[in-house]
A and B are shown apart, each in its own frame.
Chain A
C-alpha cells in the first residue's frame, strides 16, 4: 500500500487550493490504482492548525493535534503539497508548517508541488519558492508541478488546460513514487545516539 499525505495551505473554506489538491490527489490515486496499487490518503488542512503552528514556533514543541499532522506527513511514502501564492511566494502559514516540522521528516520523500493564484503571473512560485524549499528539506521533488490560476477553474478543458497539466504532473509523480518504492523513514534520534556511542568509543 502507498501512503499519500496531502498538505493544503488554503485559507478559505471552500478553498481553490484544496480543490486543486483534491484534483491532483485523485489523478495520482487513479494512476496508482490502474497499476494495481492500493492507496491511502490523508489530508492536512493547514488552516485548522494555524494557531498551533504559531504556538510551535514560539514554544519549540507541537501540540497534540499538530504532532499528529507531523506524523501523517513524516510517515507517508509521498507528499502532495499545495499552497496559495502570496506576495510572489508560498503563504506564511505554509512555510511555517514546514519550519516547525521536525528535521528529516521529508528526507527522500517524493513530493508533488502545486500552487494556486489569482493570475497566471505567479506561476513561477513553484520553481522559485516551493522547489528550493523542498530540495533543502532533502525531498525528491517531482519535475512537474501544477499551477492553477483562478481562470483555470472556469475554463473549458482544452489542450494545455488544467486537467491536462494535472495529468502530466500526476504521471511524473506516480512514476517517481513507484520507482522510489516504500519509504524508509530517517530516525534522527537513533542517528544522534549512534554518533554519541561512536564518540564514547564503541559500536554499542
Chain B
C-alpha cells in the first residue's frame, strides 16, 4: 500500500430508520458494524475506524474489543479509531489496549485521539470537561512515554503518579501505533499534532470546508515550525460523507428521508443547502470522485481519506451497497487521480511497516522525548 489510504469511519449510532420506523437492537448494530468492517476489507479499502461513545444511542464504548474481533476476521485492513478519548481514558489503559491490539493484528493498528465533547461523560470517568485541554496535554504526554520508554516514572496533575511502571506488552516491534489527532474545529488539536509531529485528522464533515482549510493550514505551518519537516510533508487525514447510487437523482431521493431526520442535521437546512455548505455528497460515484478530488485544492496532497457511510439509520444492506460502490468504482479512481501530480517528497500514509523501517534508519526515537522531560 502506498500513497493515500482510503477507508471508512463509523460513529456507531443506533438510529431508527425513518423510512420503516424500525430501530436496530444494540446487538444488531454491533454485528452490523463488524459486517461493515469486513466488507471494507473485501472491497479493497485500507482503513476501518470506530468512534468511542459511552452513552446511548451509541454502541462502541469499547473500541479495542471491537477492533480485536475485526482483526481476527480480516487480514489487510488497518484498524483505527475516530476517536479514542484521550481525556477520559486512562493513558495507561490506552497504552495496554492498543499494544495488545497491535500484537493481535500484526501491526495493522493506529489510533486517532480526540478530547470528546460530551460534558456528562467526563465525571463518569473521574474527569472534568473544564480541564479538557490540560488533561489532553498531560495524558498524551504520558501515553507517548509509556509507548517509548521501558520503565516510566511520572507525576502529573490529573492522575496518580507512576513509579517504575513497565508497560506490558511492549508495542509490537517496539514501534508505537501511529497517532492521529482528530479535530472538528479547535485549533489546539492542530497545535498538539504539529508539536509532536503526529498526524492531523480534520473531521471535515458537518462543517464548511473553509474551517477545515484553516485548521489544516495551521497544522502544516506549525509542523514545519516544530522542525518535523516541511509543511507539505505533514500527515493529514480528512473525513467525508457520501451517499451514492449509479443515478444521482436516485441517490438524492433515497437519502433525503435519512438526511431530513438525522439527529445531527435533520430539521434544519435542506439537503441541497447542506450539500453545498459541507463536504456531504449525495449523488453518483462520479460526483463523489469529483468532489473528493476537490478536497486536495484546499488541503494540498494528503494521506488518509475516511468516509462516513453508516449513520442516520441507513439499513445494513444499503451500507454494504455503499461500500461496493466506494470500493468498486470510487476509490480505484481516487487512488489513480490523487497519485497524479503528487510530489515525490509528500509522504505516504504511515503504516506499521513504514514506521518500523524508519526506526532502523533514524536516530533513537526516544531522544527527543527525554530532552523534554
Interface residues of A (CB under 8 A from B): 54-55, 57-61, 63-64, 189, 192-193, 195-197, 199-201, 204
List the one stretch of B105-113, B161-169, B184-192, B281-289 in contact with chain A.
Answer: B184-192
A195-B133 contact given A59-B274, A63-B277, A200-B191, CB 8 Å threshold: yes
The answer to whether A192 and B188 touch across the interface, beta carbons within 8 angstroms, is yes
Contacts A63-B273, A196-B133, A201-B372; A58 near B187 (Cβ below 8 A) = no
Instruction: Tell me which of B94-102, B261-269, B324-332 binds A.
Output: B261-269
Q: Are A58 and B268 in contact (CB under 8 A)?
A: yes
B265 touches A58 (CB 8 A): yes
When A61-B207, A201-B372 are in contact, do A196 and B191 touch as well, CB less than 8 Å? yes
Indicate if the CB atoms of B268 and A193 lie closer than 8 Å: no
Taking the closest CB of chain B, its distance from the CB of A49, in whole angstroms, is 13
| Residue in A54, A59, A197 whose CB lies within 8 Å of B265 | A59
Q: Are A197 and B187 in contact (CB under 8 A)?
A: no
Which of chain A's residues have a CB closer than 8 A to the CB of B134?
A: 199
In this assembly, does B257 line the interface, its C-beta being within 8 Å of a C-beta of chain A? Answer: no
Residues of chain A within 8 A of B267, CB atoms compared = 58
Query: Inside 8 A of B269's CB, which chain A residues have their CB?
Result: 55, 58-59, 63
Say if the beta carbon of B66 comes within 8 Å of chain A.
no
CB <8 Å contact, B188 and A195: yes
Residue of A nearest to B141 (CB): A200
3 nearest A-B pairs in the assembled complex, by CB-CB distance: A58-B268, A196-B188, A199-B137
Interface residues of B (CB under 8 A from A): 133-134, 137, 186-188, 191-192, 195, 206-208, 211, 218, 225, 265, 267-269, 273-274, 277, 372
Structural contact, A61 and B191, CB atoms closer than 8 A: no
Chain B nearest Cβ from A44, distance in angstroms: 20
Q: List 10 A-B contacts (CB under 8 A).
A: A57-B268, A59-B274, A63-B269, A64-B277, A192-B187, A193-B188, A195-B188, A197-B191, A199-B133, A200-B192
Q: How many A-B residue pairs have CB under 8 A?
A: 51
Q: A61-B208, A61-B211, A189-B187 are in contact. Are A196 and B137 (CB under 8 A)?
A: yes
A54 and B277 contact, Cβ closer than 8 Å, known pairs A193-B187, A199-B133 = no
A-chain residues with CB within 8 Å of residue B208 when the two chains form the complex? 61
CA A196 – CA B195 in complex, angstroms?
Answer: 10
CA distance A196 to B218 in the complex (A): 13
With a cutoff of 8 Å between Cβ atoms, the chain B residues found around residue A195 in the complex are: 133, 188
Report the nearest A residue to B264, measured CB to CB. Answer: A59
Q: Are B186 and A192 within 8 A (Cβ)? A: yes
Q: From B192, which residue of chain A is reached at the shortest CB distance?
A: A196
CA distance A195 to B136 in the complex (A): 13
**Given A61-B211, A200-B137, list of 17 further CB < 8 A pairs?**
A54-B268, A55-B268, A55-B269, A55-B273, A58-B267, A59-B274, A60-B206, A61-B206, A63-B273, A192-B187, A193-B188, A193-B191, A195-B133, A196-B188, A197-B191, A200-B191, A204-B225
Which chain B residues border A63 with CB–CB below 8 Å? 269, 273, 277
Q: Which of A61, A189, A196 has the largest number of chain B CB atoms within 10 A?
A: A196
A193 to B192, CA, bound (A): 10
Cα of A201 to Cα of B371 in the assembled complex, Å: 13
Closest beta carbon of chain B to A8's beta carbon, Å:
24
